[in-house]
Structure 1
Amino acid sequence: MTLKLQIIFGWLLAMTVVTLTGCTPDLVEVDKINVVLGFGVDEVGDNVRISAQIVLPQGAKGNNQDLSSKTQFLLEEATAKTFEQAMDELEAKLPRHMYVPHNTLVLFGNSYAEHGLARSFDYLERDRHYRRNELLLVTSGEARDVLKQQALPESINVLAIRQLVQQFSEKSSVVQSEQLRVIREFLEASHSPVLTVIDRGPNGQPNVTGIGLFRGSKLIKILDMNQTTGLLWLTGPVHKILLNIPCEPSTDGAAEAHGPASDTDNTTTGSTARPGGSGSSFRVLSANVNVTPIMQKGQLSYQVKVRGKAELLRLCQGETMNEKTMKKLEQSLNGNVKQQIESSMKLAQDSKADAVQFGTNLFRWNPTVWRQYASNWDDTFANLKVSYDVQFHLLRTGLTASSPTSEFSREQLPPKAGREELVK
């Protein structure tokens, strides 16, 4: 190696060492920062209250007790006119700098959400330290009350909340509530994002209780868990949804699967009947939803087509699995899903909140047609006519061909499933 190359190599090595050991304004020692994992945002009069959930260092103690078996976080608050001013006050009142790149969620109180989230959207989108995969959630009460509760088995409250939302979102991507998705829905044609709702349960622990419908950035209505299922069908795809359909009475006292009557239904009217069983249960394996705008004679309408696959988990008492029963079960499932969709669609239309993203769908289908309705879309959406075509196919029953409980009799024990031959 020549002398010139040795000099160049030595210079590069020296620069590398300096770079590795040097400091920049964004690099701070761990023992000089407060790691923030969650924020609560509430409205207090004309002010904004920020509640920051901060991770306590390992080995920290409070009230002279080891926190290893208790909560591992500190909830600190600051109130000011704006989000930015409240954050500055938090920075000033706490030793160590606030470190927010690991923030996992922002929970908005009901009052703040009803007056609009746009004031927070601007701050969260502009500040480069926040990641866009953090969750944006809403609660029916105050965010501070939810964040200060312990959430077993997690020692840090917000980690338990995020895990709950992720488990809930396995049914549909619509309830992921990540900042990137929420902001995108806020800026799209429908202008109606949806946020997952977190409240305190009976035991004080946080629970997912539904979905919040927004018109623009303002909270309009909260759907409970039963109403939420119908919304999931409209936004699809969905999976892992459990449906239970009550049994309907039959003439011989046995319960039949409830649903639209088929052409082969021979039930006699006027006969004495009684309900039985706890209903038929279905597990939705997958379902795809296709929403199509239709323009006919200057009138806009929509067609919602649902195609899905499911399995049967429970059969009404007295039913026997055969081709006729399978067909009847499919009709029952189709009718039940359609009823859920119609119910949720009515709630969305009554609220004038296009949470089903019909406006965005129309813009993508034909931007020119969309511009005819854009200025008055809320009223147009509220009066839209929607037709539904729902078809599910039962791939498997999820049941054995013969069940020990269905073959039980005192005269002849044990049943076939217990032994190869009946006892004579």
Structure 2
Amino acid sequence: MNKCLQLFLSLAVLLPLLTGCWDRQELNELGIMLGLGVDKDGDMVKVTAQVVVPNEVSSKSGGGKGTPVTQYQASAPTLFEAIQKLTESSPRRIFMAHIRVMVIGEEYARKVGIYDITEALMREPTVRPDYYVMVARNTTASKVLDVLTPLENLPAEKMFNSLDVSTKTWSPTTTVTGDQLLEYLLAPGIHPVITGVEVVGQPENSGSQANIATIKAPASLNSTGLSVFKGDKLIGWLTEDESKGYNYIRNNVVSTISHLPCRKNGYVTFKALRTTTKRKAKVVAGRPVIDINIKNVSSIGAVECGIKIGSMKVLKELERDSEEKLVDLMQKSIKSVQRKFHVDIFGFGQEVYHADPKFFKKVEKDWDSYLEDLDVHYDVNVQIKRVGTLDDSFKDQIRE
């Protein structure tokens, strides 16, 4: 009797673990969405889905004759209603686990706000939050997702990889994933900043093979500037230099290229090898003070004037000039945000909270007004470690 009871209990425990693929979904029944676009359509949400065409990306099926992706659109009062409504035109159920980019139309971001769609996607268990969020600048998300791209035949994959590489090698851009965006929306003392994307060129035939049939595509997608949000609504854009200053302050710069004018004519080009930014806050006499410390290691990429790179005196001068330029970039970025937007996108409020939680709780509701007169101190250290395979410039030795 005891053996029968033990067997029964063992089966009761093990059988639930042997249920198999009860929720399996066959690939030939799914439309895999790589790009999700959200636009305003009157009072409704317009969803654009960039879906892979399997036969065109499969080498075994001899693909490559048609477009590798197709696009479906639908409008409804809410995001997921619009996504579900896509089945009116799509022969397959839209599968959202592989979204690479979410593009938000500029009008939608300005007038409606992005919290609802961000919260909806984070709540949906089939959506992974590692997709990149971008704002369509001066256009709609549907037009951005309508552009076929060379080199990467899946446009959403192109946008993801392009932004990923650009963030690591070019200081005006940055990445924001779905979960990071929700954190910025909810965390006190900081407002969201998202990289923009725009359609450059002639978008008339951007969705056809003609767009990738020539060496230079008539229409292309470019990452451009950083969009500034107040709460969940877009309020403006940073310039390229302001975006650089923002990324230096936020410790987002991995590597980049910059230049300085020579003390004679021409430029010296630098490549940043390593950049580390630390921010600290303190409260002095009831006023918050921010300290920004940057350590930068750079190499010389090119010299367009006849200066003696082999001279330690010249290298020290270039280091001082580089330090002054970095401070200038950060100051311009902060002053522009103070003057035009009046919101804390740099996370200074978070630093104040970490330094003095009681003080921040008192001023939290009026924190953005504190930003107007915030005292910021800069400590920048630039070291030039490499000068390349040449020492002094040979420009002055060239025969005329």
The C-alpha deviation readout for 1:245-288, integer Å capped at 9, x for no partner, is 1234xxxxxx1xxxxxxxxxxxxxxxxxxxx22x1111111122
In the other structure, the counterpart of 1:349 is 338
The structural deviation recorded for 1:328 is 0.9
Q: Is the Cα–Cα contact under 8 Å of residues 100 and 131 in structure 2 kept in the other structure?
A: yes
3-state SS of 2:118 partner: helix
**Per-residue deviation, 1:396:** 1.9
Deviation, structure 1 residue 318: 2.0
Go from structure 1 to structure 2 and tell me whether the alpha carbon gap of 1:302 and 1:220 turns closer, same or farther (over 3 Å shift).
Answer: same
Q: Using the alignment, how far apart are the partners of 1:23 and 1:340 within structure 2?
A: 55
For the pair 1:282 / 2:281, whether they are aligned, the reply is no
* Structure-2 separation of matches of 1:38 and 1:59: 17
Describe the shift of the 1:23–1:288 C-alpha distance in structure 2 as closer, same or farther (beyond 3 A).
closer
How big is the shift at 1:334? 0.9
Q: How is 1:9-408 mapped onto 2 (pairs within 5 angstroms)?
A: 19=18, 22-24=20-22, 26-58=23-55, 68-115=64-111, 116-140=113-137, 141-171=139-169, 175-202=174-201, 203-248=218-263, 255=264, 276-277=265-266, 279-321=267-309, 322-350=311-339, 351-401=341-391, 407-408=397-398
Taking structure 2 as the reference length, what is the TM-score of the superposition?
0.85
Q: Which residue of 1 aligns with 2:211?
A: none
Q: Return the letter of the residue paired with 1:364.
A: H
Could you tell me how far apart the structure 2 residues matched to 1:192 and 1:348 are? Answer: 12
Structure whose CA Rg is larger: 1
Q: Secondary structure at the match of 1:129?
A: coil
Verify the 8 A CA contact 1:191 1:215 in the aligned structure 2.
no
CA spacing shift, 1:389–1:124, aligned 2, 3 Å: same
- State the alpha-carbon separation in 2 of the partners of residues 297 and 360 from structure 1: 19
Residues 387-408 of structure 1 show CA distances to partners (whole Å, capped at 9, x for unaligned) of 2222211112224135665545
RMSD across aligned C-alpha pairs, in angstroms?
Answer: 2.7
Cα distance in structure 1, aligned partners of 2:82 and 2:155 = 22
Report how far residue 243 of structure 1 moved. Answer: 0.9
Higher relative contact order (CA 8 A, sep 6+): 2
Percent sequence identity is 23
Residue identity in the other structure for 2:153: S
Identify if the C-alpha distance between structure 1 residues 87 and 122 changes in structure 2 by more than 3 Å, giving closer, same or farther: same
Per-residue deviation, 1:94: 2.2
Q: Distance in 2 between matches of 1:28 and 1:287?
A: 46
Structure 1 distance, partners of 2:272, 2:154, is: 33
TM-score normalised by length of structure 1: 0.80
Residue 69 of structure 1 deviates from its aligned partner by 4.7
SS in 1 for 2:176: coil
CA distance in 1, matches of 2:393, 2:21: 71
Q: How far does residue 142 in structure 1 lie from its aligned partner after superposition?
A: 0.5
